[in-house]
Amino acid sequence: MNTLFIFGMGYTASHLARRLCEQGWQVHGTGRGGDVDFADGSAVHAALASATHILSSVPPDRATGADPVLAAYVDALRAAPARWIGYLSSTGVYGDARGAWVDEGAIVGTGRRNARTQADLDWQALDPPGDTHVRVLRLPGIYGPGRSALDRVREGSGKRIDLPDQVFSRVHVDDIAGGVIASFAGPPGVYNLSDDLPCSQNRVIEAACRLLGAPLPPMQTLEQANLSPMALGFYAENRRVANGKAKRLLGWELRYPDYEAGLAGILAGEHEHPLENIRSA
């Protein structure tokens, strides 16, 4: 039986876990959605020794900048018999491209995500020479049920920022799960998992307003918007993320190729399974 062990069963990894369990997999992991205590070394070592697949979605520690999983379990990971090891990284490693397209060959480490870049490189280096287990999957902005522009518009927190040249990439959580699963049989390496239509956040908010029949929020400057430091960091960088490598080498097919399809899918799911979506949010 295929068994996946996940470090960090948060929003995205838990979504993947549910999908794999529906396919007959056994899934264990650490974090709020998991069944193993990260600090229990014996339990983690036992889980790693029996896993056919291992995934980390744990970001670097904000205080130290170190990757907590590698800091605690790098030797156990190298000794694990798993035939697939994955790391969910961030397209933030590319830094500011001034709106240009970036692919997996672009320079990394020039932006604000220095700790994430180092973790990304350290996971790539986990494979000893001649071994081919590791896939590093770089993710842009993640959205899905309970975590999308629809929710922000409903809450009254949706904002439109007067930055006409600002462009982001994003990806639906369903398509991340699909990309991870596609990489199980694909070649090792680094892959961007982003949708086909980078665009401004304003367009996404405007689409959510149309779907909900809600009024558009006013256009604001960055100063007027009073954004959190994390949100300001997103607006400090501008890039379009290319996804061709994952499509070519993994056979990855997007269920939601753009934000319009993604938001419509979320809304349809809410109408079809309202209680399930409330629980998942």
Distance CA 126, CA 83 (A): 13
With CA atoms as reference, report the closest residue to 193 among 90, 73, 62, 97. Answer: 90
pLDDT at residue 129 in the model: 57
Distance CA 169, CA 97 (A): 12
pLDDT at residue 275 in the model: 43
CA 36 to chain centre: 22
pLDDT at residue 248 in the model: 98
**Residues facing residue 189 across a β-bridge:** 135
Domain boundaries, the chain: 83-280
pLDDT at residue 44 in the model: 98
Strand duo 26-29 + 53-56: pairing? unpaired
pLDDT at residue 88 in the model: 98
pLDDT along the chain (281 residues), means of 10: 96 97 97 95 97 97 92 95 96 94 94 86 81 90 97 96 93 98 96 97 97 97 88 88 98 98 96 52 37
| pTM of the full structure | 0.94
pLDDT at residue 279 in the model: 39
CATH second-level architecture of 83-280? 3-Layer(aba) Sandwich (3.40)
> At residue 220, what are phi and psi to the nearest 5 degrees?
-130, 160
pLDDT at residue 213 in the model: 97
**Residues facing residue 252 across a β-bridge:** none
